[in-house]
Amino acid sequence: MSARMLVTGFQPFGGATMNPAWEAVRRLPDTIGGAEVVKVEIPVVFGRASAAVDAAIEANRPDIVLCVGQAGGRCKITPEFVGINYIDARIPDNEGNQPLAKRVVEDGPDAYFSTLPVRAMAQAMNDAGVPAAVSFTAGTYVCNDVMYALLHSLATRFPGTRGAFLHVPYATEQATQLPADTPSMPIETMAKGLEVALAAALEHMEDVALSVGTTH
Ligand code: PCA
């Protein structure tokens, strides 16, 4: 039986009219490295987003889950190393919720590390000419909420499934409306990056021994 990957992308948020996360995800091919790719768009709403990811896992029983969000202002595609058990919303979500200083899972551990090979994924993207780097913070908004909830769910209910979160920059279309020095990336480049990152995730059961650490 061939492998299956679930890839999610967020709806627009914070007043934007599009989210390049979903735009890149929906451009992915239907198979990568022989694995079936299931694509799902999820809402930018605390609790509802992670519930949608869970429902898609239940329905599709994937081997790999990659959730994709936007981190406007970043220069590169950034697979996330860690999700923290903490929520502190700088802006309201798409239903007006703005939770502050809360836990994602009340009695869960403080953090989970990604169980996909984030270094190998970043390396594969750079090798394909798509700028990428491992990130050590997914923030404290809906993306981190989804990442933590995903890894908690996989650890406690779906131990055979590996998962991670990944942030993409602004799309070039969005940057036309933003200050001159705002970094951005074409959506096609993001989709290419996601494709090679997913192929690397499928291929590497263990991460590669490559330093991606930061001193500060
Ligand atoms: N980015 C936000 C939430 C949805 C998205 O695409 C974040 O980084 O939390």
Establish whether residue 168 lines the binding site of ligand 1, counting it when its CB lies within 6 angstroms of any ligand atom: no
Q: In ligand 1, which atom is closest to the CA atom of 9?
A: 6
Across 177-193, average pLDDT: 97
Per-residue model confidence (pLDDT) at position 215: 81
Ligand 1 atom 9: the closest Cα is on which residue?
A: 143
Helix H segments across 61-137? 118-127
Q: By the 8 A CB rule, do 149 and 52 touch?
A: no
What digits encode the pLDDT tens for the residues 27-58?
Answer: 999 999 999 999 999 999 999 999 999 999 99
**Probe target for ligand 1 pocket from 7, 13, 68, 166, with the most ligand atoms within 8 Å of CB:** 13
Ligand 1 atom 8: the closest Cα is on which residue?
A: 143
What is the set of domains in the chain, with CATH numbers? 4-203 (3.40.630.20)
Per-residue model confidence (pLDDT) at position 135: 98
Active site (catalytic) residues? 80, 143, 167
Per-residue model confidence (pLDDT) at position 1: 65
181 pLDDT higher than 80: yes
Question: How many angstroms is it from 144 CA to the middle of ligand 1?
Answer: 8
Q: In ligand 1, which atom is closest to the CA atom of 144?
A: 9
199 pLDDT higher than 90: yes
Q: Which residue has the tokens 């779906």?
A: 158
d(CA 40, CA 134): 24
What digits encode the pLDDT tens for the residues 3-23?
Answer: 999 999 999 999 999 999 999
Q: In ligand 1, which atom is closest to the CA atom of 143?
A: 9
Q: By the 8 A CB rule, do 65 and 53 touch?
A: yes
- Mean pLDDT score of the chain: 97
Question: How many angstroms is it from 2 CA to the middle of ligand 1?
Answer: 31
Across 54-66, average pLDDT: 98
* Reported pTM: 0.97
What digits encode the pLDDT tens for the residues 129-139?
Answer: 999 999 999 99
